[in-house]
Amino acid sequence: MQRRQFIRLTGGGVVLGATAGLSACDTSLPAEALQAWSPPADGPDVRHWLLAHAILAPHSHNLQSWRVDLSVPDQITLFIDLDRLLPETDPFSRQMMMSQGTFLELLDMAARHKGLRADIELFPEGAFGPKTLDGRPTARVRLAPDASIQSEPLFQQIFLRRTNREAYEDRPPQAVALTSIEKSVEPHPIRVGFVGTDQPGLLRRHRAIAMDAWRIEMETSRTILESYKVLRIGPKEIAQHRDGIAVNAPLLRAIDALGLFDRTVAPAPDSMAVTSQVKDFNAKLATTPAFFFMVTEGNDRATQVTAGRAYARAQLVATAHGLSMHPLQQALQEYPEQAEPYADIHRLLEAPSPRFTVQMWSRLGYAPAVGHAPRRRLDAFILPGRG
Ligand SMILES: Cc1cc2nc3c(=O)[nH]c(=O)nc-3n(C[C@H](O)[C@H](O)[C@H](O)COP(=O)(O)O)c2cc1C
């Protein structure tokens, strides 16, 4: 192998390794990319304050696909940005719909905090079909003061929540936390469950499926390239985009600055770029003390949005109990190469497809604190001329 190529592949491996543990360097992210994580001030239009909370929701690949129309007073119409989809890894945009749901859940919590009732009408102009999305709204939210509205204690966790991809400590989540997570999802028709160290055989099978699915994603050119497209390396790119997967480790920045990491070329499956990433992930999975999962009956668009709402609640409860979550969507993804892990996880969770869909599967445990992920400026989410 030529020296230049070796360095390039090595660089790719390191970059990907850091992506899995990207939060390790989050503290040094440029301040403007993290501005959204400072609680907002009140302003003349309460909807801006509500949105400042909603955009802190988790979103697959941190794509922040939310667009809002504020042209009707006391109303927020939510659209999905069709330029922010993941056609390779999320071909039917299931995770995108979930990520609309996480936003709506946080919006609802923020409204309650202000004594507002948020009437959320999903798909007011009709739901998208099962395969593709279009320009119709995902939701219309009507806001009205309501003295009977109850505040939501989970609101307090919004600024503390983070996705944590670090290695988790070797101790099981406390039972009281699991009960709270389960209860938090009760408003929605979703089956949730956990597997932990008290079921070692089952835990091993969860780990094995997750490892397999991750390896497949890394070895499939078009899916790894889709992640490369949203990598933001170094302060300049991170500050410029404020979305995607932020990586700020000095070595990676240097490799990238030297032009030695070509993000348009997929690394070979046996290259260090892939094998080091697989090794890193396997090590984290091998010590993961618990998994959390959510299963729905049916998989229509409203169900997907609802699953997102439920996941947001579950992760906020976990946060309140000092627990971390790290979604593992690879085996749940609907592209052909994942067919086997997809079938395996559905079988393991007694959720025969297509009647049932595993919407979320996540590592769960205690982990060292990590920094926040970037968010764009609030005005970037408001449709031009509809503010
Ligand atoms: C539907 C959905 C799927 C996700 N899938 C993954 C995943 O497979 N792997 C992962 O590391 N993070 C996943 N995430 C977490 C996002 O990457 C994360 O929310 C985003 O990077 C923003 O970071 P934050 O949650 O710390 O604010 C997912 C989040 C959602 C809502």
291 Cα–ligand 1 center, Å:
15
357 Cα–ligand 1 center, Å:
18
Atom in ligand 1 nearest the alpha carbon of residue 330? 8
251 Cα–ligand 1 center, Å:
25
- Is ligand 1 within 6 A of the CB of residue 284? no
pLDDT of residue 143: 98
DSSP conformation class of 163:
B
Q: How confident is the model at residue 2 (pLDDT cuts 50, 70, 90)?
A: very low
Nearest to 379 by CA among 47, 102, 74: 47
**C-beta of residue 69 within 8 angstroms of C-beta of residue 79:** yes
Q: What average pLDDT score do residues 3-24 get?
A: 38
- Is ligand 1 within 6 A of the CB of residue 178? no
126: alpha, beta or left? (left if phi > 0; alpha if psi -120 to 50): left
- Is ligand 1 within 6 A of the CB of residue 213? no
Pocket test for ligand 1, best of 60, 209, 241 (most atoms within 8 A of CB): 60
Q: How confident is the model at residue 18 (pLDDT cuts 50, 70, 90)?
A: very low
Q: Is pLDDT at 20 greater than 90 in this prediction?
A: no
pLDDT of residue 284: 97
Q: Which residue has the tokens 């070595």?
A: 251
Instruction: Enumerate the H helices of the chain as residue ranges.
Output: 3-20, 46-54, 94-113, 175-184, 200-219, 221-229, 234-241, 250-257, 272-286, 301-320, 339-348
DSSP conformation class of 28:
G
Q: Quote the crossing angle between the two packed helices 200-219 and 221-229, to the nearest 10°.
A: 80
Q: How confident is the model at residue 252 (pLDDT cuts 50, 70, 90)?
A: confident
Nearest to 305 by CA among 104, 58, 62: 104
Q: How confident is the model at residue 94 (pLDDT cuts 50, 70, 90)?
A: very high
Q: What average pLDDT score do residues 38-60 get?
A: 98
Q: Is pLDDT at 11 greater than 50 in this prediction?
A: no
Measure the CA–CA gap between 301 and 129, rounded to whole angstroms. Answer: 8
**Structure tokens that stand for 174 in this block:** 């406390």
Task: For 147-204, write each residue's pLDDT tens digit.
Answer: 999 999 999 999 999 999 999 999 999 999 999 999 999 989 999 999 999 999 999 9
- Is ligand 1 within 6 A of the CB of residue 363? no
Q: What average pLDDT score do residues 36-44 get?
A: 97
Atom in ligand 1 nearest the alpha carbon of residue 23? 26
Mean confidence (pLDDT) of the chain:
93
- Is ligand 1 within 6 A of the CB of residue 331? no
Q: What average pLDDT score do residues 42-46 get?
A: 97
Answer whether the bond into residue 368 is a cis peptide, omega within 30°: no
pLDDT of residue 353: 96
What does DSSP say about strands 75-80 and 139-145: parallel, antiparallel, or unpaired? antiparallel
- Is ligand 1 within 6 A of the CB of residue 163? yes
Residue nearest to atom 12 of ligand 1 (CA): 327
pLDDT of residue 224: 97
Measure the CA–CA gap between 107 and 111, rounded to whole angstroms. Answer: 6
Pocket test for ligand 1, best of 329, 338, 364 (most atoms within 8 A of CB): 329
Task: For 341-364, write each residue's pLDDT tens digit.
Answer: 999 999 999 999 999 999 999 999
pLDDT of residue 387: 87
Pocket test for ligand 1, best of 19, 26, 59 (most atoms within 8 A of CB): 59
pLDDT of residue 255: 87
- Is ligand 1 within 6 A of the CB of residue 326? yes
Angle, vertex CA 75, rays to CA 103 and CA 77, nearest 5? 50
Percent of the chain whose predicted confidence (pLDDT) is above 70: 93
